[in-house]
């Protein structure tokens, strides 16, 4: 794979020869773009693309179209870069979306790849990383949870896992939710009695924990079970999770029968309980299948210009849950285009199962299957079934997609009404698209944190939430005004730098961001506090050049006895006012304030907890987990280590003279 940036290329004119590979998948619809209304921008964009086209190779790769600010507008892949890029500038009919994209293009970058499969994988990676405006964007893409059976310890651990697969072991999933993982792990603990504690807890046990007492662990930490017997349980769990459930249940049934015949009724009862737990795992089914052992099922629905992709996960003949995604895509794009782009991004950071079932045929199904097979190192099939049980399965998932999108559209409509009422309550000219709420939390000035929550037409936008650790040395403990000032200064100073907002910039922002896009700038800022907090916030915004005409600023003071419904509102240039007790806007403000308070309190508690369990040994350079464990085992407590003489430290197992000196100097220099 090589990267080329083409600049200063002679403006040669493209030839008119047609090519079978030149049809762009991005064409979306046949709606003509109004060239008379936008002749200059489209013509400039076309000339830019023509200049780059002249030096492009006839090779597979990925191209990026960028605007005047250097922001990426679109990322695409091509079997032939020359043919694909040429299709944008041959004067063919384009949809409004493609015409707008061409008109905004001022530069392009290209990456050539060895194969089209490699180009497809790179395209999906770049789309998720750069989030171009004209691509289908996979939103709310939190990593899905897995079950991990570790293989880096003599007594393997059964745990929930999320994120990169750095730890050695077997991963099973994905599951649609953490709830589904927790439920399955609880049942697996009853069935196979595997430990779930971390290695440090395991190594420091002197007697079995409560899980052993309630028969959810076999107690390998204190040798309540032999290594060979525990390895047998691990093998059974691995077999069950790998699809050999019937064989595992048969073996446990035989063991129960044998124990019963030998009058070992306690062992027979344990086998009975394990069988019941396994039946519970297999019995909880939202949908029954007979022909799908391992598959991901995708169904896409479109309503009112919005898309929903419902995904069901099947592993080991079991339904492991489902999740609804709402990708951001232009209304002119067809369902198969949206689903194809969604699929590439969905599997960018997770392995694919052996079978992927789709509600719509996608254009590059064979190419996608080859790319996923290369990533997972196993054969992956992609099908859009038209009949039989698999088609019935697709219809079931599609019905769930329709219902999920219907609920979202209803919620969005209700939320939009609340935003309209909120704008009217605070005298705004139009309904706010983005509302930010600020609060802070501390105990006597310690572990002070600030929190920002964000809401829009789709409800709380948790991916935009932010926390602020107070850094100012001039900030006095417990100074709420100072904390609010620092938080807003940092937030808006960065916003002014990254998204400058003047008359010209605002015009560009309105042009580049459609009505359904989520803006970077808030229209309304709510401060949890009264007149003093509001004044501190106003000064903070003024210090970074944000005027009252840019952002509506409102302070919320709690009522007498801090009762909800008696809030007093403060706005710059207006006397304090209240909202009617049954006003929907008042309830909405209370929800916003409570969410900010919850987020701030939660962040503060997490920070305080980290400080409470923080070990001074962690701050000493050269002291890793092994030496820290050796010191604690030898001396018992950190206080004993702190009081120890240098000679005593040197006598600790695994501690050399240099380490002992570092520990001694750390504590005694502090004193």
Are 137 and 131 in contact, with CB atoms under 8 Å apart?
yes
Provide the pLDDT for residue 97: 80
Domain-ending residue, one of 610, 634, 660: 610
Same domain as 602, residue 622:
no
Domain membership of residue 417 (yes or no) is: no
Same domain as 458, residue 592:
yes
Same domain as 278, residue 155:
yes
HEC sequence for 382-420:
EECCCCHHHHHHHHHHHHHHHHHHHHHHHHHHHHHHHHH
Same domain as 445, residue 336:
no
Distance linking the first and last C-alpha atoms of the chain: 58
Are 180 and 142 in contact, with CB atoms under 8 Å apart?
no
Provide the pLDDT for residue 438: 92
Same domain as 544, residue 460:
yes
Same domain as 575, residue 626:
no
Same domain as 468, residue 518:
yes
Work out the pLDDT band at 437, boundaries 50, 70, 90: very high
Domain membership of residue 414 (yes or no) is: no
| β-bridge mates for residue 63, sequence order | 76, 110
Mean pLDDT of 654-664: 84
Are 455 and 433 in contact, with CB atoms under 8 Å apart?
no
Residue 604 burial by CB count (10 A; 0-12/13-18/19+): exposed, middle or buried? buried
CA dist 402 and 93 (Å) reads 32
Domain membership of residue 549 (yes or no) is: yes
Are 191 and 281 in contact, with CB atoms under 8 Å apart?
yes
CA dist 9 and 577 (Å) reads 63
Burial 589-599 (b: 16+ CB within 10 A, else e): beebbebbbeb
Domain membership of residue 416 (yes or no) is: no
Same domain as 626, residue 589:
no
Q: How far, CA to CA in Å, does 336 sit from each of 302, 323, 381, 433?
A: 11, 19, 17, 30
Same domain as 635, residue 587:
no
Indicate whether 429 pLDDT > 70.
yes
**Structure confidence by residue, pLDDT tens digits, 35-74:** 444 556 777 888 888 888 888 888 888 999 988 888 899 9
Domain membership of residue 43 (yes or no) is: yes
Q: How many residues does the chain have?
A: 671
In the chain, % helix, strand, coil (3-state, to 5) comes to: 45, 15, 35
Strand (E) or helix (H) holding 593: helix 584-612
Dig out the tokens for 439 from the structure. Answer: 């609060």
Provide the pLDDT for residue 309: 92
Domain-ending residue, one of 283, 316, 351: 283
Mean pLDDT of 263-282: 72
Provide the pLDDT for residue 381: 92
Closest CA to 241 of 297, 293, 165, 298: 293
User: Which of the pair, 19 or 388, is modelled with greater confidence?
Assistant: 388
CA dist 435 and 54 (Å) reads 47
Indicate whether 614 pLDDT > 70.
no
Provide the pLDDT for residue 357: 93
Domain-ending residue, one of 283, 313, 339: 283
User: Which of the pair, 320 or 484, is modelled with greater confidence?
Assistant: 484
Same domain as 108, residue 60:
yes
Same domain as 663, residue 627:
yes
Same domain as 377, residue 398:
yes
Please tell me the pTM assigned to this model: 0.62
Work out the pLDDT band at 290, boundaries 50, 70, 90: low
Domain membership of residue 583 (yes or no) is: yes
| Mean pLDDT estimate for the chain | 79
Dig out the tokens for 154 from the structure. Answer: 């003599």
CATH code of residue 31:
3.40.1440.10
Dig out the tokens for 277 from the structure. Answer: 């737990």
The edge-to-edge listing of strands for the beta sheet with 72-78 is 2-4, 107-112, 61-66, 72-78
Indicate whether 434 pLDDT > 90.
yes
User: Which of the pair, 85 or 279, is modelled with greater confidence?
Assistant: 85
Provide the pLDDT for residue 453: 93
Mean pLDDT of 71-100: 82
Instruction: Mention every residue, 6+ apart, whose C-beta is less than 8 A from residue 149.
Output: 156, 157, 158, 169, 170, 172, 194, 234, 237, 238, 241
Closest CA to 489 of 543, 420, 561: 543
Which of 100-104, 123-127, 172-176, 307-311 has the weakest average pLDDT?
Answer: 172-176
Domain membership of residue 67 (yes or no) is: yes
Which of 22-26, 48-52, 102-106 has the weakest average pLDDT?
Answer: 22-26
CA dihedral defined by 104, 105, 107, 113, rounded to 10 degrees?
A: 140
Q: Which domain holds residue 347?
A: 295-406
CA dist 186 and 175 (Å) reads 14
**Structure confidence by residue, pLDDT tens digits, 359-407:** 999 888 898 899 889 888 889 999 999 988 888 889 989 988 888 888 8
Provide the pLDDT for residue 514: 46
Mean pLDDT of 242-267: 74
Domain membership of residue 289 (yes or no) is: no
CATH code of residue 579:
3.30.420.340
Provide the pLDDT for residue 19: 36
Are 529 and 484 in contact, with CB atoms under 8 Å apart?
yes
Are 216 and 190 in contact, with CB atoms under 8 Å apart?
yes
- The angle, 0 to 180 degrees and rounded to 10, between the axes of the packed helices 116-130 and 335-346 is 90
Question: How many domains would you assign to the chain?
Answer: 5
Provide the pLDDT for residue 452: 92
Work out the pLDDT band at 25, boundaries 50, 70, 90: very low
Mean pLDDT of 431-445: 83
**Structure confidence by residue, pLDDT tens digits, 495-549:** 888 888 654 444 444 444 444 568 889 999 998 888 888 888 888 888 888 887 7
Which of 118-132, 177-191, 428-442 has the weakest average pLDDT?
Answer: 177-191
């Amino acid at each position: 794979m090589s990267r080329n940036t083409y600049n200063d290329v002679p403006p040669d004119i493209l030839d008119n020869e047609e090519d079978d590979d030149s049809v762009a998948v991005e064409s979306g619809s046949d709606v003509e773009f109004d060239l008379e209304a936008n002749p200059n921008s489209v013509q400039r964009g076309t000339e830019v693309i023509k200049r780059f086209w002249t030096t492009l190779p006839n090779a597979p790769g990925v191209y990026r179209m960028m605007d005047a600010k250097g922001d990426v507008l679109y990322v695409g892949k091509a079997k032939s870069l020359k043919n694909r890029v040429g299709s944008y500038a041959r004067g063919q009919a384009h949809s409004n979306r493609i015409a707008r994209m061409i008109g905004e293009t001022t530069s392009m970058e290209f990456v050539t790849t060895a194969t089209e499969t490699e180009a497809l994988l790179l395209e999906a990676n770049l789309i998720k990383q750069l989030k171009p405006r004209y691509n289908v964007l996979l939103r709310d893409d939190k990593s899905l949870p897995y079950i991990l059976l570790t293989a880096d310890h003599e007594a393997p651990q059964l745990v929930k896992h999320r994120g990169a697969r750095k730890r050695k072991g077997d991963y099973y999933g994905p599951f649609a939710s953490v709830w589904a993982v927790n439920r399955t792990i609880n049942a697996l603990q009853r069935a196979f009695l595997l430990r779930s504690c971390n290695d440090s807890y395991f190594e420091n046990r002197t007697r079995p924990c409560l899980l052993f007492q309630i028969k959810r662990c076999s107690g390998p930490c204190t040798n309540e079970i032999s290594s060979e017997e525990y390895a047998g349980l691990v093998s059974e769990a691995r077999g069950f999770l790998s699809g050999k459930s019937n064989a595992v249940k048969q073996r446990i049934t035989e063991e129960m029968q044998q124990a019963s015949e030998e009058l070992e009724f306690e062992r027979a009862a344990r086998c009975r309980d394990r069988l019941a737990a396994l039946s519970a795992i297999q019995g909880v089914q939202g949908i029954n299948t007979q022909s799908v052992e391992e598959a991901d099922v995708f169904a896409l629905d479109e309503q009112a210009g919005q898309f929903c992709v419902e995904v069901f996960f099947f592993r080991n003949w079991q339904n492991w849950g489902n999740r609804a995604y709402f990708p951001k895509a232009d209304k002119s794009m067809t369902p198969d285009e949206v689903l194809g782009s969604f699929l590439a991004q969905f599997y960018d950071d997770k392995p694919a199962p052996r079978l992927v079932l789709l509600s719509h045929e996608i254009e590059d199904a064979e190419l996608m299957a080859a790319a996923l097979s290369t990533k997972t190192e196993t054969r992956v099939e992609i099908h859009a079934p038209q009949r039989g049980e698999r088609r019935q399965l697709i219809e079931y998932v599609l019905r769930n997609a329709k219902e999920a999108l219907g609920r979202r559209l209803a919620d969005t409509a209700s939320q939009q009404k609340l935003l309209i009422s909120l704008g009217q309550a605070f005298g705004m000219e139009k309904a706010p698209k983005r509302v930010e709420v600020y609060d802070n939390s501390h105990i006597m000035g310690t572990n002070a944190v600030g929190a920002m929550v964000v809401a829009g037409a789709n409800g709380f936008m948790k991916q935009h939430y932010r926390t602020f650790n107070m850094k100012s040395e001039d900030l006095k403990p417990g100074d709420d005004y100072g904390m609010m000032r620092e938080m807003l200064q940092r937030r808006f100073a960065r916003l002014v730098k990254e998204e400058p907002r003047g008359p010209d910039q605002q015009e560009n922002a309105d042009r580049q961001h459609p009505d359904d896009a989520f803006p970077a700038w808030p229209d309304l800022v709510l401060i949890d506090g009264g007149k003093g907090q509001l004044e501190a916030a106003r000064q903070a915004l003024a210090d970074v050049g944000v005027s009252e005409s840019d952002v509506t600023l409102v302070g919320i003071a709690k009522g007498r006895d801090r009762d909800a419904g008696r809030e007093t509102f403060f706005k710059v240039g207006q006397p304090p006012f209240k909202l009617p007790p049954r006003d929907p806007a008042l309830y909405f403000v209370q929800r916003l304030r409570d969410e900010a308070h919850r987020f701030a309190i939660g962040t503060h508690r997490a920070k305080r907890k980290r400080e409470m369990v923080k070990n001074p040994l962690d701050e000493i350079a050269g002291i890793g987990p092994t030496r820290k464990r050796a010191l604690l085992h030898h001396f018992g407590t950190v206080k004993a280590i702190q009081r120890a003489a240098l000679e005593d430290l040197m006598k600790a197992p695994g501690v050399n003279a240099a380490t002992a000196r570092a520990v001694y100097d750390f504590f005694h220099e502090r004193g």
